[in-house]
Structure formats: C-alpha cells, structure tokens
Amino acid sequence: MDNITRVGILGMGHVGTHVANAILYQGLAAEIYCVDALEAKVVSEVNDLQDAMPFYPRQARVYNCHCDYEALLDCDIVVNAAGHVAAAATNRDGELFVTADETKKWAPRLKGYRGLIVSIANPCDVIATMIWKLAELAPNQIVGSGTALDSSRLRHALWEQTGHAYSPSSITGWMLGEHGSSQFAAWSHVFFGATPLAELERTDPGRFSFDKDAVEEAARKGGYVTYEGKGCTEYAIANAATELVKAMVQDSKLITPCGTLLPDEGYYDEAGHFTSVPVVVGADGAEQLFLLELSADEQEKFHASCRHIQENIEKIRCW
C-alpha cells in the first residue's frame, strides 16, 4: 500500500482502542478514522491518541467520525471491533444477536468499498459471513481475526506445558474452525522449531507426552481466564488483529489461521461461510488458502465446527 495508509476503526471499546494504539505504535498508518455510536467515547479516545503522538514513530492524524460510516469508504483497511463482550460472559455465542444488529447498521453502507476489512466482532465467523453478504464485497476483502488469537493461546499453553523451555514464537500450533467453543487443535501439525510434536513424544516423552485435551481446552478457554479478572480481553486480540493489518500494509504474505470464506469447491466438503483455516494474508487480503492434511479425528471436529457456524448463521440470516 502507499504511504498514506488510512485505517478505520469501527468500535472504540477496549479492543478497538488497543488496535488503534498498536497500529500507531508500529507506524502502520498515516490516518486513523474512529467510528463509535458513543460520541463522548470517541472524543476522549481521539484526544488520548493524539496526546500520545510524540511517542509514535510516525506522525499521523486521528479523526473523530462518530457515526459517519461512509467515512470508512475512504479507508484502505477497516477494523471491525464493534461488539458487546459482556454478552459473552458465560456463552461464546452470547454476542450473536446484538452484534448482528450492529452489523446491519453499517455493513450495507460499505457497498462499493474497495479496501480490506479485518473483522474481530463475535461470533467472528458469523459476522464475517454477514459482512460479506450485506456489503456485497469480494471474499478476499474480508479477513476474520478468527483463531489467529486462539492459536497464540495454544502456543502459550504449550509453552507452559513443556516447562518454558522454548520461546512461544518458536512453536507452531494452530487452532482451526470456529473462533468459539467448537474450535480444535490440529495436533498433526504442531512443531517445536522444525521438529514435529509426534517425534518429540517418542524421543523425550517426559516433557512432550502430555494430556492434549487439557492443553487444547486451555487454549479454547484462555479468554475466560482473562475475562474473569477484568471483564474483557484486549491485548492479545488487538495484537492479533494488528498483525493482520500489518500483513496487508506491508504485503508480507503472512501465513496464519484466520477467518476466510470456504470456497465453492469446498474445504473437506465444507463451503459457503467463513471459518479459520491457514491463509496467506497480504496486500490483497486473503490471498491463498491452504488445505491441511487433517487426521480423521480432526476432520470430524472441523465438520462439527462448521455445522455450529451454519446453525448460528441461520439464526441471524437477513439476506
């Protein structure tokens, strides 16, 4: 992208404001457009971000757009963080109807948009599918943050389980499927450095033969550990979303699990909705989808996850 990168943030709550700060801190944007229904909140956040401008590596302008959704049409990238986390306090699907109602307000107004969207709002896969339908955009224009976050939580859990012996950034471990309760770990593709977990289980069973179900559950429910103490999650998801924005701005061809539309030809016979599988993210958004060779058990979990997403889509379908 050119040097005048415009990023819109839709929803200036805990996550949206952290995304804005992370983008500015990494010098990824020249202009930030902040949209939120609560005007006083936008005023305060814009002022705070502008006060911080001397500490960022690149000078930028931050604009208060309040409910001017059309201002987002001029952005290169829009980050959708418009959600209601309190509704998901006890149920990962708790935000379904309230976030769907929010999406109905703005997505149709982005018809004709030529940029990219990173959608965080939950249920992530359902809302990404909804944006695709209501805004009538090309599928590659929309990337859900999806299990990019949960995969980081899996690496955290693996790091803890194996005694902090290796940097989490040296661990490859992917959660796939829904960003929700039906997500699952692709254990057949977990690596420490270049060494498969399966090989390490044979050579060092004392460290690497562990309860995989417990580690997977720690990744799946990691957000609730955070939520219990402070009523939200913010740092990890904001950084996950910012990594996707960075991949688009820098055209870095990042490979990560994130929400993408499963193609008509199918991904293990699933198609027609967004969910998280390994994707190449670059200047054109979701540029390439990888078909992982999943075990029979992993395929079964993938189908179950897709069924859950489809069930939720039917509950809010308005197209």
Active site residue 308: no
Is domain 6-144 in CATH 3.40.50.720, yes or no? yes
Beta strand 175-176 with 184-185: parallel, antiparallel or unpaired? antiparallel
What strands, in cross-sheet order, belong to the sheet with 254-261? 61-66, 31-35, 6-10, 77-80, 116-119, 142-144, 254-261, 274-282, 285-289
User: How much is the pLDDT for 266?
Assistant: 84
Please report the pLDDT score of residue 260 as a whole number.
98
- What pLDDT score does 94 carry? 87
Query: What local confidence, expressed as pLDDT, does residue 1 receive?
Result: 63
DSSP-derived 3-state class of residue 258: strand
Instruction: Give pLDDT, residue 179.
Output: 97
Catalytic residue among 179, 189, 273, 308: 179
Structural element, H or E, at residue 129? helix 124-135
**For residue 3, what pLDDT is reported?**
64
> Given this model, what pLDDT does residue 258 score?
98
- Domain ranges, ordered by start, for the chain: 6-144
DSSP state of 111: T
The tokens describing 103, both together, are 């999406």
Tokens of 258: 């994130």
Q: Give this prediction's pTM.
A: 0.96
User: What is the token pair recorded at 93?
Assistant: 């699907």
Q: How many CA atoms lie within 13 A of 232 on its CB side?
A: 14
pLDDT of residue 5: 94
CA angle 107, 112, 117 (to 5 degrees): 55
Walk along the chain (319 residues) in steps of 10 and give the mean pLDDT of each run.
84 97 98 97 98 97 97 98 80 90 97 98 98 98 98 97 93 97 97 97 97 98 92 95 98 98 93 98 97 96 98 96
Cα separation, 35 vs 16, in Å, equals 10
Q: How far, in Å, CA of 288 to CA of 297, rounded? A: 25
